[in-house]
C-alpha cells in the first residue's frame, strides 16, 4: 500500500509554480477543463480610460440626460423614468429660466433686505453662511408642468414621463432660514408680503405672503451636498417648499417687505389661472397633489405575461402624501400602492404595486391623496373647474395603455 504523501512547503511551492507555468493542478472533483487557468478580461481602464477621476462621473453605460422643450432651451426636463429613489442628481434637476443664466462671482454677491424693516441690511454670501444653517429634502415643480398632456399637444402616445412631467425634481437644499434674516433686519408687524428679485436679465420678481417666510422659506446656497449649480441660482436663491417653482427666485439680489403685494409682471400677465367664467385665480402658489407612473411607461415593452411592478412618484405642496391608488382597468377598480420610506412633507414619494399582466390590453392609472384629504382629480374634473385656457397647475390623473404585444403608450388623462 502506497504511503500517503505529506504536505510540505516545498511541495506547495512546486504546485504553485506549476500553476503559474502551465495548467493548475486539479483539486478533488475537478476535471482538466475546470482546472484550466481562468481567462482574465482585458483591463477596462486601458480600453475606456480610467473611471476614477478628481470629479466622479457616471458609468459610460448609463446616459440619463435632461431634454429641452424647444430650440429656445429656456427649460430642461428631468428624466423621471431613469431615476431611483427620491433625490434627483444636481445635473439632472429640471431647469427653467426667463433671461439666461448669469455668471455671478460669489465674492461680489450681495443680498439687500429692506422696506418695512427696522434696519435695512446687505448680506454677502459669507454673511449668509455664518448664520445657523438648515438642510431639507423637498421637491420643486414648475407650475406649467404637465401642460402638454392637458392641452393635448403633439403626439400624445409616444411620450415619456420626462416629456410629460419632467419639470419636477427633489433635492436636499441647504441654506439659512429666511425667518432668521427677517428677525435680523427687524421685520415690521405691518409687513404682509415680500418681494423677491433676481439678478437675471428678466429681473424675475414675485410677491410672496409673509407667512411663508416664517414657515419654511430658505435662502439656499447648497444643493445635494455642493454649492448651487449656475442654472439653479448660484450663488444663492430663494427656495419656497411646496410653492410653484417660479416663485423660488434664483440669483436672488433683493427682498423688499411691504403691506401689500407688488403686482409684478410675473403675477399679473403671467402665473395666474384663467377660469371659464372670465375671472382668474391669482397667487395660486401651492402645488396640488399629483402622481405619475414611471414604470411601465413609454417606450417600455413588457416581454410577456406575468408579474410586473408598477412604480412611480407622488408629491404635494401641502404636506405629506398619505395614499396612492392604482388602477389597471382604466379607473373602474383601484388598489392601494405601497409608499416607500421616507415619506417626507412637500417631497417626492415613491410608490409601487405588484401587478399580474395576463397579456391583454390594460390601462394603468395612479391617483394621489395628501394629508389635507385632497385627491388628485381626473382630467374631466380638472377641465370643468379650470377650462381649456388655463396655463398652469395641471395635476390631473395620467394614464398608460399596455397593448397585447407588450408595448406601452401614453393614454392621456383619466376620464
**pLDDT tens-digit series, residues 226-281:** 999 999 999 999 999 999 999 999 999 999 999 999 999 999 988 998 888 888 88
The reply to whether 368 falls in a domain is yes
Domain boundary among 278, 307, 329: 278
Given pLDDT bands bounded at 50, 70 and 90, which one contains residue 99?
A: confident
pLDDT of residue 7: 46
Going by C-alpha positions, the residue among 181, 187, 319, 172 that lies closest to residue 252 is 181
Same domain, 320 and 348: yes
- Grid cell 448680506 is found at 123
Percentage of the chain modeled with pLDDT above 70: 85
For the cut 80, the answer to whether the pLDDT of residue 389 exceeds it is yes
Same domain, 250 and 296: no
Q: 3-class DSSP state for residue 186?
A: coil
Distance (Å, whole) CA 178 – CA 204: 19
Distance linking the first and last C-alpha atoms of the chain: 88
Question: What's the whole-model pTM score?
Answer: 0.86
Same domain, 118 and 234: yes
Distance (Å, whole) CA 178 – CA 171: 18
Distance (Å, whole) CA 6 – CA 336: 67
Identify the sign of the CA torsion 213, 217, 220, 225: positive
Same domain, 299 and 263: no
Dihedral (Cα; 237, 241, 244, 247), 10-degree rounding: -30
CATH number of the domain to which 310 belongs? 2.60.40.650
Percentage of the chain modeled with pLDDT above 90: 74
Is pLDDT larger for residue 372 or for residue 59?
Answer: 372
Among 17-26, 32-41, 371-380, the minimum mean pLDDT is found in 17-26
pLDDT of residue 44: 54
Is pLDDT larger for residue 282 or for residue 46?
Answer: 282
pLDDT of residue 52: 60
The reply to whether 370 falls in a domain is yes
Same domain, 124 and 219: yes
The reply to whether 260 falls in a domain is yes
Same domain, 110 and 223: yes
Identify the sign of the CA torsion 227, 230, 234, 238: negative
Distance (Å, whole) CA 345 – CA 216: 11
Same domain, 297 and 270: no
Q: What is the largest CA-CA distance in the chain?
A: 108
pLDDT of residue 48: 53
**Domain containing residue 252:** 76-160+169-278
Q: Number of structural domains, the chain? A: 2
Eight-class DSSP state of 299: T
Q: Which three cell numbers, joined as nine digits, stand for 35?
A: 482546472
The reply to whether 131 falls in a domain is yes
Same domain, 104 and 216: yes
Distance (Å, whole) CA 60 – CA 58: 6
Distance (Å, whole) CA 218 – CA 255: 13
Tell me the pLDDT tens digit for each residue of 7-30.
444 443 444 444 434 444 444 445
Strand extents, DSSP E, 201-267: 205-209, 218-223, 226-227, 237-239, 252-258
The reply to whether 268 falls in a domain is yes
Strand extents, DSSP E, 328-374: 335-336, 338-339, 349-357, 362-370
Distance (Å, whole) CA 140 – CA 145: 11
Domain boundary among 253, 278, 303: 278
Going by C-alpha positions, the residue among 88, 142, 80 that lies closest to residue 294 is 80
The reply to whether 97 falls in a domain is yes
Same domain, 124 and 257: yes
Contact, 243 vs 286, CB < 8 A? yes
Q: Which three cell numbers, joined as nine digits, stand for 232?
A: 439653479
Same domain, 209 and 258: yes
Tell me the pLDDT tens digit for each residue of 154-187.
568 999 999 999 999 999 999 999 999 999 999 9
For the cut 60, the answer to whether the pLDDT of residue 317 exceeds it is yes
Distance (Å, whole) CA 407 – CA 187: 58
Strand extents, DSSP E, 48-120: 67-68, 75-77, 95-96, 110-115
Same domain, 128 and 203: yes
CATH number of the domain to which 231 belongs? 3.90.420.10
Domain boundary among 222, 250, 278: 278
For the cut 90, the answer to whether the pLDDT of residue 215 exceeds it is yes
- Residues in contact with 16: Cβ distance below 8 Å, sequence separation at least 6, in sequence order: none
The reply to whether 203 falls in a domain is yes
pLDDT of residue 55: 80
pLDDT of residue 152: 75
pLDDT of residue 4: 45
**What would the mean pLDDT of 82-87 be, rounded to a whole number?**
97
The reply to whether 373 falls in a domain is yes
Same domain, 123 and 268: yes
Distance (Å, whole) CA 219 – CA 107: 17
Amino acid at each position: 500500500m502506497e504511503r500517503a504523501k505529506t504536505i510540505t512547503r516545498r511541495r506547495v511551492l512546486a504546485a504553485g509554480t506549476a500553476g503559474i507555468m502551465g495548467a493548475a493542478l486539479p483539486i478533488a472533483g475537478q476535471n482538466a477543463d475546470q482546472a484550466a487557468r481562468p481567462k482574465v478580461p482585458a483591463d477596462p481602464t486601458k480600453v475606456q480610460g480610467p473611471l476614477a477621476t478628481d470629479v466622479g462621473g457616471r458609468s459610460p453605460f448609463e446616459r440619463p440626460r435632461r431634454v429641452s422643450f424647444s430650440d429656445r432651451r429656456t427649460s430642461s426636463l428631468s428624466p423621471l423614468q431613469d431615476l431611483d429613489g427620491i433625490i434627483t442628481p444636481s445635473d439632472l434637476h429640471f431647469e427653467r429660466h426667463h433671461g439666461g443664466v448669469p455668471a455671478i462671482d460669489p465674492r461680489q454677491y450681495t443680498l439687500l433686505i429692506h422696506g418695512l424693516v427696522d434696519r435695512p441690511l446687505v448680506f454677502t454670501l459669507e454673511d449668509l453662511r455664518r448664520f445657523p444653517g438648515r438642510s431639507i429634502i423637498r421637491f420643486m415643480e414648475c407650475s406649467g408642468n404637465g401642460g402638454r398632456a392637458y392641452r393635448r399637444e403633439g403626439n400624445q402616445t409616444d411620450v415619456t414621463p420626462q416629456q410629460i412631467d419632467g419639470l419636477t425634481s427633489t433635492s436636499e437644499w441647504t441654506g439659512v432660514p429666511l425667518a432668521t434674516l427677517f428677525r435680523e433686519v427687524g421685520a415690521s408687524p405691518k409687513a404682509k408680503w415680500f418681494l423677491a428679485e433676481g439678478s437675471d436679465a428678466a429681473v424675475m420678481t414675485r410677491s410672496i405672503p409673509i407667512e411663508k417666510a416664517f414657515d419654511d422659506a430658505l435662502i439656499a446656497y447648497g444643493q445635494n451636498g455642493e454649492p448651487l449649480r449656475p442654472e439653479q441660482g448660484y450663488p444663492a436663491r430663494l427656495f419656497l417648499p411646496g410653492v410653484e417653482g417660479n416663485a423660488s427666485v434664483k440669483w436672488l439680489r433683493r427682498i423688499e417687505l411691504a403691506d401689500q403685494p407688488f403686482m409684478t409682471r410675473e403675477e399679473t400677465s403671467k402665473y395666474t389661472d384663467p377660469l371659464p367664467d372670465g375671472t382668474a385665480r391669482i397667487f395660486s402658489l401651492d402645488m396640488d397633489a399629483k402622481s405619475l407612473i414611471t414604470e411601465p411607461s413609454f417606450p417600455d415593452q413588457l416581454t410577456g405575461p406575468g408579474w410586473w411592478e408598477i412604480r412611480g412618484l407622488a408629491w404635494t405642496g401641502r404636506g405629506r402624501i398619505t395614499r396612492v391608488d392604482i388602477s389597471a382597468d382604466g379607473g373602474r377598480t383601484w388598489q392601494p400602492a405601497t409608499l416607500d420610506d421616507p415619506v417626507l412633507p412637500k417631497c417626492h414619494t415613491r410608490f409601487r404595486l405588484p401587478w399580474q399582466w395576463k397579456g391583454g390590453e390594460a390601462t394603468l392609472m395612479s391617483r394621489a391623496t395628501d394629508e389635507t384629504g385632497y385627491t388628485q382629480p381626473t382630467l374631466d374634473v380638472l377641465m370643468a373647474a379650470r377650462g381649456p385656457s388655463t396655463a398652469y397647475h395641471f395635476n390631473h390623473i395620467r394614464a398608460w395603455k399596455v397593448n397585447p404585444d407588450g408595448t406601452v403608450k401614453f393614454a392621456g388623462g383619466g376620464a
